[in-house]
Amino acid sequence: MVVVGGRMTGSAVAASLATRGVAVTVVDAPDPLGDATAASYGWINSHKKHPESYHVLNSAGLEHFHGVLAGVPGVFRATGHVEIAGTDEHVASFEQRSRRLQGLGYGVDEHEPADLARLVPGLAVRARLVRGFPREGIAAPDRLVAHFTATAVAAGARTVGARVDRVHRDGVVLTDGTTIAADAVVVCAGVATGAVTATAGLEVPTVAAETGNVVMGYMATTAPTPAAVDRIVTTDGLNLRPEPGGGMRLQALGLDGDCDPDRAPFDVPAHVTDAFSERLAEVLPAAAGTPLQVRIGRRVIPGDGFPAVGPVDDDARIWTLVTHSGVTLGPWLAERLAEEMLGAPPDPRLAGYSPRRFRASTGEAPAAPRAPGDQ
């Protein structure tokens, strides 16, 4: 089988197939403009996932990290997550969200604002509502890709650094004209998934990148600092989480409104970098002045915002795994996809997430993530 794309979803699919005895070729054209994995916040969660069937998928993804992936060194840390609401708007939405998660049986710790100094020392934010989410954690996306790629190769997979020009029911054709025959093709090409499946006359739409839309997001990485937080922290205006090596990754969703795809990945306006630095100094004063680099990322958002996992064509020769929250979901979905490709009935939790649904309608693209708890 051929897997198109070798980053978060493609490497996971390759590992899931190869370890089940399938001969796999992974074809990946490195492309910093289309590499969602490199820009990911890597927050493993099922935090604000509607409807409930989507929450079920993300919870399964989260538990997969606590189970199967817990034994893989360096890819996941169950740090927990603390969210602190200070503004009226944040308090109102967060109260509602926490209650829903409690009702769903998701671990929610209720804290007093006075607990914050103990939970996250050094934080200087207005705390009116503080909740902890102890099951959540962080993944190192590049390490996960390295792990899955090594697992696939150890099980006999071949990797090819090349661009696929088109896919068809019997394999793929590369841009240099080389053909690779296959019994099935799995398209895991991130934002290019729609374009790649379209070469076979199939439709798996992904939302196109436009300045400030749901696709676009900034991600900052700081230099190592002794002031780094030790868990995921969400505040009114800045999200922080530790990075392997002693730095942090930061998100400030409120800044994403002018995030321009034509400037990806590193041509970030100076006012954005300055705003990240200012917010960091405000929220975590001991980290003031820590150098940081901001990157422009493109989220992979299927046309209606939800994962598309399974066969695309009628004969089940062309498959896809394309999703947002692909770090949380990719490893678990890859296992389910591999089972189905090898003849198992589709996992009932994936009912409604077939790529074939796009034949009927492209659905409505979701709103851009701008509020705390979004991703």
Contact residues for ligand FAD, defined by CB under 6 A:
4-5, 7-10, 27-31, 34-37, 39-43, 163-164, 188-192, 196, 217, 219, 297-300, 323-328, 375
Using CA atoms, how far apart are residues 84 and 260, in angstroms rounded to an integer? 29
Q: Rounded to an integer, what is the distance from CA 353 to the centroid of its chain?
A: 17
Q: Closest approach of Cβ 299 to ligand FAD, in Å?
A: 4
Residue type, 326: G
CB nearer to ligand FAD: give 108 or 219: 219
Q: Closest approach of Cβ 350 to ligand FAD, in Å?
A: 17
Look up residue 16 and give its two tokens. Answer: 């899931």
Q: Closest approach of Cβ 186 to ligand FAD, in Å?
A: 11
Cβ atoms within 10 Å of 71's Cβ, excluding its own: 8
Using CA atoms, how far apart are residues 69 and 75, in angstroms rounded to an integer? 8
Q: Closest approach of Cβ 301 to ligand FAD, in Å?
A: 9
CB nearer to ligand FAD: give 244 or 289: 244
Using CA atoms, how far apart are residues 219 and 236, in angstroms rounded to an integer? 17
Closest alpha carbon to 235 in 215, 251, 221: 251
Q: What region, left, alpha or beta, does residue 212 occupy, with left being phi > 0 and alpha being psi -120 to 50 degrees?
A: left
Which residues make beta-bridge pairs with 211? none
CB nearer to ligand FAD: give 198 or 288: 198
Strand order in 164-168's β-sheet?
164-168, 171-174, 179-181
CB nearer to ligand FAD: give 22 or 368: 368
Q: Closest approach of Cβ 285 to ligand FAD, in Å?
A: 25
CB nearer to ligand FAD: give 236 or 256: 256
CB nearer to ligand FAD: give 39 or 341: 39
Helix or strand run (H / E) with residue 131: strand 129-133
Phi, then psi, of 341 in degrees rounded to 5: -65, -25
Q: Considering Cα of 349, then 75, then 218, then 98, what sign does the dihedral take?
A: positive
Q: Closest approach of Cβ 189 to ligand FAD, in Å?
A: 4
CB nearer to ligand FAD: give 3 or 127: 3
CB nearer to ligand FAD: give 56 or 286: 56
Q: Closest approach of Cβ 239 to ligand FAD, in Å?
A: 9
Using CA atoms, how far apart are residues 204 and 72, in angstroms rounded to an integer? 33
Which residues make beta-bridge pairs with 322? 308
Q: Closest approach of Cβ 280 to ligand FAD, in Å?
A: 17
CB nearer to ligand FAD: give 101 or 188: 188
CB nearer to ligand FAD: give 29 or 104: 29
SS3 letters across 17-31: HHCCCCCCEEECCCC
Q: Closest approach of Cβ 294 to ligand FAD, in Å?
A: 11
Cβ-contact 187, 193 below 8 angstroms: yes
Strand order in 248-251's β-sheet?
109-111, 129-133, 81-85, 232-234, 239-242, 248-251, 216-222, 292-298
Using CA atoms, how far apart are residues 332 and 346, in angstroms rounded to an integer? 14
Q: Closest approach of Cβ 22 to ligand FAD, in Å?
A: 19
